[in-house]
Structure 1
Amino acid sequence: MAGKRKNNPAGSTNNYRGDVLRVLGALKVATADQIQRIGAPHLSFRHADKEPPSKRKQARTASHTGALSDMRKHGLSENGGSTGTGDALRNLTTKGLEAASYELRRPVTEMGSTARGAGSSGALHPMSVNETVIALLRPKPNLTRLADDPPHVQAAAQEAVDTPPGIGTIASFWTEVPLPATGTWNSPGKGGAQADLVLTAPQDGVPLLFIEVDNCHETPEELADKLQKYARFFRRK
């Protein structure tokens, strides 16, 4: 197609590739739908009138799907299975995590693993963790991106902007973080916890928050054991 550069045949832009790097760098594995809702929430309003819902979803995620396609060709991202509802899961490669470290302003040593294989069983827990992040972020649409859209689209986006703000940015979150009771951060020993989410958003009055996301698959005894692991971590000087 005319106008597409050879190195980005899917026509993606730096903005959308940046969204992918930031979201997958923080969450490790996500769907194009989740990447779009976090990175470019204005697209949800631009395509709200399309029917059926499958067409609406396809339209609003097209830009990030294109970005993922281009990044896959460059060895930055890869397909990682699918969710139980059939949505494709995406994750970064080692090369992609290095690129994401610049977007998130984190040392490469803090970027964690590539999450390869996380989608082999549907990634039910990672998807719940991601939805928790979205609920905390409450992503607001950029109204300037909708300046040329119909009035009813702008009005719906304005309503979303006027709702209470969320906490932090995508760069405020870390997932699956080891909290060593023994050993070091890079080589944790036995007996420590692993936080589903760590949130640091001092700009919003939340300097540090550990979050556990439960899909009701753990027994009360397992949950109590997890709390004991947290206690061991907090006692460490």
Structure 2
Amino acid sequence: MAGKRKKNPAGSTNSYRGDVLRVLGALKVAAADQIQRIGAPHLTFRHADKETPSKRKQARTASHTGALSDMRKHGLSENGGSTETGDSLRHLTTKGLQAASYELRCPVTEMGSTARGAGSSGASHPMAVNETVIAMLRPKPNMAVAVDPPHVQAAVDAPDSIGTIASYWTEVSLPATGTWNAPGKGGAQADIVLTAPQD
């Protein structure tokens, strides 16, 4: 156990680090709260006994915040500013994008940029795009691990989601010139591209 603590002093697990890689690989920049709501939605229904909303949020995002801390130590993620509400924004480094490409089963050449500097002005547009993706994903809690307050049933009874986090890409270049992997100047960018033929 001592070896694991030296490598990951925040105590993160592979599954939480995988959540971070998948979410940031697809969304490029996100807050720990958004990563948690996509990667581990059952945590949203825990810690209801905490006195304030901020303490509940801190408790439910602690695992992903620890994963982000360990990934930052390993050079996979970086802090990138904060939102208007004070949430820290996170994004992947080039090394982190390579790891995310493995998690998302996508060539690194198709992963896009690292979103460096996206949070310097609060990232209000990317945060709105992320909330749109979350609304379409509608991640459902795993009832085997969720505490079962009455409002959980509404989440379980909601319509099925559209795709998985791997079905979504943000800030996708639509080149007017050049190629898909090396777009030329003058092209547009799509906020969200969804590829989910099964839906």
In the superposition, the TM-score normalised over structure 1's length comes to 0.80
1:1-237 alignment, distance < 5 Å: 5-146=5-146, 149=147, 152-153=148-149, 155-204=150-199
SS across alignment from 1:80: strand
Deviation readout 1:80-99 (Å, 9 max, x if unpaired): 01011110000011100000
Confirm or deny: 8 A CA contact 1:143 1:158 kept in the other structure. no
SS across alignment from 1:183: coil
**Higher relative contact order at CA 8 Å, sep ≥6: structure 1 or structure 2?**
2
Q: Partner letter of residue 48 of structure 1? A: A
SS across alignment from 1:144: coil
SS across alignment from 2:153: helix
**TM-fit CA distance, 1:3:** 9.3
List runs of 5+ in structure 1 lacking aligned partners: 205-237
Q: Partner letter of residue 144 of structure 2? A: T
Deviating beyond 6 angstroms after TM superposition, the runs of 4 or more aligned structure 1 residues are none
Shift of the 165–48 alpha-carbon distance from structure 1 to 2, 3 Å rule, reads farther
Structure label with greater radius of gyration? 1
Q: Partner letter of residue 26 of structure 1? A: A
List runs of 5+ in structure 2 lacking aligned partners: none
In the superposition, the TM-score normalised over structure 2's length comes to 0.95
Shift of the 166–191 alpha-carbon distance from structure 1 to 2, 3 Å rule, reads same
CA distance in 2, matches of 1:164, 1:49: 28
Q: Partner letter of residue 117 of structure 2? A: G
SS across alignment from 1:202: coil
Q: Percent identity at matched positions? A: 84
Residue equivalent to 1:209: none
CA distance in 1, matches of 2:106, 2:127: 23
Q: Partner letter of residue 80 of structure 1? A: G
Farther-moved stretch of structure 1 (62-71 vs 174-183):
174-183
Shift of the 3–189 alpha-carbon distance from structure 1 to 2, 3 Å rule, reads closer
**TM-fit CA distance, 1:2:** 7.5
